[in-house]
Amino acid sequence: MARNRSLFARLLAAQVALSIVLTAMLAMVFYAERNRTVAQLVTSRWAPSLLLLTRGAPIETARDVAPGPLRASDQRPEDVFGIASLTPRRAIIHETLVKAGLPVEDLVFARHRDARANAPTLWLALRGDDGALRWVGFESGIVEEDLRERFLIATLLLFGLAIGASALIAHRLALPLETLRARIAANDASGGPLPHASAEVQAIDEAWRGLRQSLDQQERERALLLAGVSHDLRSPLGRIRLAAELLPDGDGIAPRRDAIVRNALQADRLVGSFLDHVRSGELPLDETVDVAVVARSVAAQQQRAATELSVEAPESLLAPHVSTVLIERVIGNLLDNAFTHGQPPVRLTVGTTGRRIRIEVEDCGPGIAPEDQQAMLQAFARGDASRRHPGLGLGLAVVQRVALRMGGHVAFRRSADGARTVVRVEWPMG
């Protein structure tokens, strides 16, 4: 599956987005409450001395009761902070001071530079009882010089924490599903319960294993039925053929005897197709086979002229974990299909493509329509609707079944010049 469309990626994206939204909301609430709390503290500390100034008391009297250095000026400060992030703080501190009874007409944050201090200062424009406007400044914790740096560090830490936690949660949620997908892909129903899986995923796994076991049981019963029927049919077919061959020569007997023998042989080949289909799913893949040698041997058994059948194969091509009988059946079925439904000359090619073994059979027939190709790989599918050629439609189905067991596939294509039909079987080398 594409990673950006996987469940893990979607869960991670959703959790990260949710974490960012929740973090932003929490930061906004914290920011507002922090400013309000600091404003109340600043007001409670400085309100008594500031009220004295508004009532006309000298600055020295106000400084005596002030909790820190108090500055006064008749002019608005020049070095004013123009930081947009301070606007909510200005509004909150202004509201709190007015509620405390201070006639604040303006409020700015500035830096007072002299020999005594070099720190952010809160300046208030106070209207006294006599109508005069006086600027009063004092240091307060409501101004933070390194706010941007602290906010950036906090945001990065929270974002990293959100991504890490979200990745861990998404991984633990998606891992059982990925394990189940791999188990289904490997067609392995023998494993135990999925680790760290939820009850829903465990239920899916149990349902799949039950279905897999049921299908395996049906396949075993079907194979046993086909093998039994095929074996039991071959005995009477052999007796019929033997009895026909023992018929005495006489007028009109020879053609009838030949017809009986020919039909018995045809029925025997059909029974053999059943047995091949059964064996294709049961024979163990535990041999190392020289595919090139097998290809030349099967081609020789066709007893075709060199103008009808040619073989292109290396001197040797060893394939591990396969079966000699199944490789023979694959090549034989491909050649039979080419001569029955295609047209000579036929070419058999054996080779490698990267780390994959390749068997190709080319013929000059019309081929199979693209929309019918996958259907032709199913059991009992026939491209010859008129049934001019005898058969059960198991040839390519056996090829497909063997290819899948070896981890490969079957593909159809046209040659580069468009004049030849090519059926390819390929599978990994090891």
- The sheet with strand 409-414 has its strands ordered as 309-312, 346-353, 356-363, 421-428, 409-414
Place of tokens 């006064």: 72
* DSSP state for residue 122 in the 8-state scheme: E
pLDDT at 339: 85
Could you count the other beta carbons within 10 Å of the beta carbon of residue 294?
A: 23
pLDDT at 243: 74
Q: What does CATH list as the number for 212-275?
A: 1.10.287.130
Give the orientation angle of helix 7-54 with respect to helix 87-99, to 10 degrees: 40
154-157: Cβ within 8 A, 24+ apart:
154/27, 155/23
Q: Percentage of the chain with pLDDT > 70?
A: 75
pLDDT at 114: 53
pLDDT at 29: 82
The mean pLDDT of 198-205, rounded to a whole number, is: 78
What's the one-letter identity of residue 129?
A: D
pLDDT at 290: 92
Predicted confidence (pLDDT) per residue in 66-125, tens digit: 888 888 888 888 777 665 556 677 788 888 888 888 888 888 887 655 534 456 788 888
Most confident stretch, 181-185, 263-267, 292-296: 292-296
User: Does the structure show a pLDDT above 80 at 52?
Assistant: yes
**Residue-range domain boundaries for the chain:** 3-149, 212-275, 280-428
The helix/strand/coil state of 360 is strand
Q: Which residue has the higher pLDDT, 272 or 177?
A: 177
User: Does the structure show a pLDDT above 80 at 51?
Assistant: yes
Place of tokens 């949660």: 169
pLDDT at 115: 39
* DSSP state for residue 80 in the 8-state scheme: B
Pairing of strands 287-290, 133-139: unpaired
Q: Which residue has the higher pLDDT, 34 or 321?
A: 321
**Region of 247 on the Ramachandran plot (φ > 0 left; ψ -120 to 50 alpha; else beta):** beta
Predicted confidence (pLDDT) per residue in 333-391, tens digit: 888 888 887 888 889 999 988 889 999 888 887 777 666 666 666 655 555 544 444 44
> Could you tell me how far CA 307 lies from the centroid of its own chain?
50
User: Does the structure show a pLDDT above 70 at 229?
Assistant: no
Q: What does CATH list as the number for 280-428?
A: 3.30.565.10
Range scoring the smallest mean pLDDT among 231-235, 292-296, 298-302, 308-312 = 231-235
Taking all residues of the chain, what is their mean pLDDT, rounded to a whole number? 77
Q: In the structure encoding, which two tokens stand for residue 353, read together? A: 């493509």
Question: What is the band of 269 on the pLDDT scale with cuts at 50, 70, 90?
Answer: low
**CB 353, CB 426: distance < 8 Å:** yes
Give the orientation angle of helix 7-54 with respect to helix 147-185, to 10 degrees: 160
Predicted confidence (pLDDT) per residue in 303-314, tens digit: 888 888 898 889
